[in-house]
Amino acid sequence: MIKVYQKYLISSFLKIFLMVFSVFFSLVIILNVFEEVSYLKDSDTGLLFPFFLTILNSPSIVYETFPFIFFISTQFLFIKLLDKEELDIFKKVSLSNFKIISVLSIFSFILSIFILIIFYNLSSNLKFIYLDLKNKYSKDNKYLAVVTENGLWIKDEINNNINIINAERISDGILHDVTINQFTKLYENFNNLMVDEIDIKEKKWVLNNVIYSTNGSSTKKDKNIVFESNFDSDQINQLFSDLSSLNFFELSNLKTGYKKLGYSVTNINIHFHKLVSYPINLTIMTLFGCIVMLNIKRNNSKIFHLILGTLLSVIIYYINYFSGLLGENEKMPEFLSIWFPLLIISLFCVIGLIRINEK
């Protein structure tokens, strides 16, 4: 059975959490709608379309801010408890700080599981729709790239031609075992090429060992051909970088496709680690917020509490961010790039808990 004080702490935290969440969500919508209006200013869309795009994109952005929401919610909860002198009342009934922190941490973990399973999958599906709709109004929507079980497929419109390119795999900026079918704007096929390797480090591709036929003519061979494209290897890497638009099953399928293609799965592995560690991350932020509020002097102003808490949460965010970049650049093992910062913050929390327990 949940005790009375536990119900009170949980309900108080949840009310504050929903309030802070609403504020963050509103700010995201307000800021994002201006970006969408600016993006679509030259299109013939209606007035409501930017707002619709904003609604689709906002949950994904808010998902990234949940560590801040948990931290700030914890701060406001303790400010409330301090203002009403409820912490002193809890102590008089032999309720220790450690028990209060335990209740909030356990509830935060349960809430973060719900956020990961329900909110993340919802936001990723909405993000996918958002990207699909917005791509139709992109100024550079002359090309498209996808990864399937049959390798990498690229649609590339350039020089009034449409090139459909299929590569079995990619490694170090080189496409291997490539087929290129060239069409006119009316989709009339006029050229077909089979290439062993293509260097795509620049937008002028270098085709090695080419077999081609033009306008139904006999097959010809050439060692090297320069081929213009809208793509280079860096752009292809960026095309598949927005993993927030994929749910767990889609990420798993994408990883399988990347492996078949010989494409690096480092970013996908790191994203998986971020998702798995997310409930722990949010719980640590709640725990850290409790420790900060209980270890500083009560006579400090509320503004001081909020500024200090926000500063610390931003520092933690950038530590996680830069550690993730090291993992993506393969300067640090994928596992450590996500879990090591959490371990360090956890150690600080343990030290803080020891100090609190001594009070």
pLDDT score, position 150? 62
* Side chain identity at residue 353, one-letter code: L
pLDDT higher than threshold 70 for residue 143: no
In the structure, what pLDDT confidence band is assigned to residue 141 with cuts at 50, 70 and 90? very low
Residues 6+ positions from 210 with CB-CB distance below 8 Å: 193, 194, 195, 221, 222, 223, 224, 225
Specify the pLDDT at position 291: 86
Cβ neighbours of residue 168 under 8 Å, at least 6 residues apart?
Answer: 151, 176, 177, 178, 261
* Residue 84 CB burial class (10 angstroms; 0-12, 13-18, ≥19): exposed
pLDDT in tens, 149-192: 567 778 888 888 888 888 887 777 788 888 988 888 888 888 88
DSSP states of 146-184: EEETTEEEEEEEETTEEEEEEEEEEETTEEEEEEEEEE-
Q: Alpha carbon 50 to chain centroid distance? A: 22
The amino acid at 262: G
Is it the case that residue 9 has pLDDT exceeding 80?
Answer: yes
pTM, two decimal places: 0.74
Give whole-number Cα distances, 302 to 75, 84, 131, 285, 293, in Å.
Answer: 9, 14, 41, 19, 10
Q: 3-state DSSP call for residue 41? A: coil
* Angle between helical axes of 49-83 and 266-295 (0-180°, round to 10): 30
Adjacency order of strands within the sheet including 161-171: 143-148, 151-158, 161-171, 174-183, 189-199, 204-214, 220-228
Q: Please state at what angle helix 334-358 crosses helix 302-328, rounded to 10 degrees.
A: 150
Q: 89-104: per-residue pLDDT in tens?
A: 887 777 788 888 999 9
- Given pLDDT bands bounded at 50, 70 and 90, which one contains residue 218? low
Question: How crowded is residue 282: how many other Cβ atoms within 10 Å of its Cβ?
Answer: 22
Q: Does the pLDDT at position 209 exceed 60? A: yes
> Which amino acid is present at 129?
I
pLDDT digits (tens, 9 = 90+) for 295-336: 766 666 667 777 877 788 888 888 888 888 888 777 888 888
153 and 175 Cβ atoms separated by less than 8 Å = no
Q: What is the pLDDT of residues 229-279, one digit of tens each?
A: 887 777 666 555 567 777 778 778 777 766 655 566 787 888 888 899 999
Given this model, what pLDDT does residue 122 score? 92
Question: Which pair of tokens denotes residue 162?
Answer: 């449409």
pLDDT band at 1 (very low <50, low <70, confident <90, very high): very low
**Which candidate, 271, 270, 286, places its Cα nearest to that of 345?**
286
What are 221's strand-pairing partners?
211
Please report the pLDDT score of residue 334 as a whole number: 84
pLDDT surpassing 90 at residue 116: yes
Alpha helices by DSSP H, the chain:
4-39, 49-83, 86-92, 97-114, 120-135, 233-239, 248-261, 266-295, 302-328, 334-358
**What are the tens digits of pLDDT across the range 330-347?**
788 888 888 998 898 888
The pLDDT assigned to 103 comes to 92
pLDDT of residue 241: 55
